[in-house]
Amino acid sequence: MMFLSVQEPNPEDPLNKEAAEVLQTNRRLFEQNVRRSLQGGYVGATYFERCLK
């Protein structure tokens, strides 16, 4: 079921309020942030290690 929350995040009941706000106001930026976090890099002040090959 985890894949459902990744494919269709719920901005109305978010685990990450900041990400939900970006999703609601700028979906393109949200998608870029998701891609960056999975490929490794910073989203805001948070660094994410690469988890995709």
Task: List C-alpha distances in Å: 11 to 24, 25, 31, 40, 41.
Answer: 7, 10, 14, 24, 23
Per-residue pLDDT band at 49 (split at 50, 70, 90): very high
The arithmetic mean of pLDDT across residues 14-20, rounded, is 89
Domain count, the chain: 1
Structure confidence at residue 10 (pLDDT): 80
Q: Which domain holds residue 51?
A: 14-53
Provide the whole-model pTM. 0.76
Residue 41, both tokens: 């890099």
Residue 23 lies in a domain: yes
Instruction: Kindly report the backbone phi and psi dihedral angles of residue 47, in degrees, each rounded to the nearest multiple of 5, phi listed first.
Output: -95, 135
45 lies in some domain: yes
Residue 2 within a domain: no
